[in-house]
Amino acid sequence: MKSKRFYLIITVLIISVVLVACSNNGNPPNASVKEGIQPYNLSENERYLLKSFGMEGNSQIISFNAPKEAISLEVKIYRLGDDKKWDVIGGEESQ
């Protein structure tokens, strides 16, 4: 069951990235923000996708602007467990 949920989350993330990348009317990150992290403003289609997977009220999509000096990025996905502790459910390192 956990592996199905993991693959569902990864699939939703991939679909979200594809929809954001292919959208010509999306909300690009604020150009005045030099670096940092901020919530991403979802379009109506993106909100519908989250709702379709039952993730509308329990997910967060963020926008990240890396510093120009950054040469690598490590991404980890966490989920708050029933025991109120954060569990790592995915991670990837890219350069």
Q: What are phi and psi of 89, to 5 degrees?
A: -115, 0
pLDDT tens digits for range 69-81: 888 878 788 888 8
pLDDT at 18 over 70: no
State the pLDDT at residue 62.
83
For 37, residues 6+ apart whose C-beta sits below 8 A from its C-beta are: 62, 63, 64, 65
- How far is Cα 77 from Cα 7, in angstroms, rounded to an integer? 13
Reference 61, options 40, 37, 91, 79; nearest CA is: 40
**Structural contact between residues 44 and 21, judged by C-beta atoms closer than 8 angstroms:** no
State the pLDDT at residue 31.
52
Rounded to an integer, the average pLDDT of 38-49 is 88
- How far is Cα 60 from Cα 80, in angstroms, rounded to an integer? 13
- How far is Cα 40 from Cα 27, in angstroms, rounded to an integer? 8
Rounded to an integer, the average pLDDT of 41-69 is 85
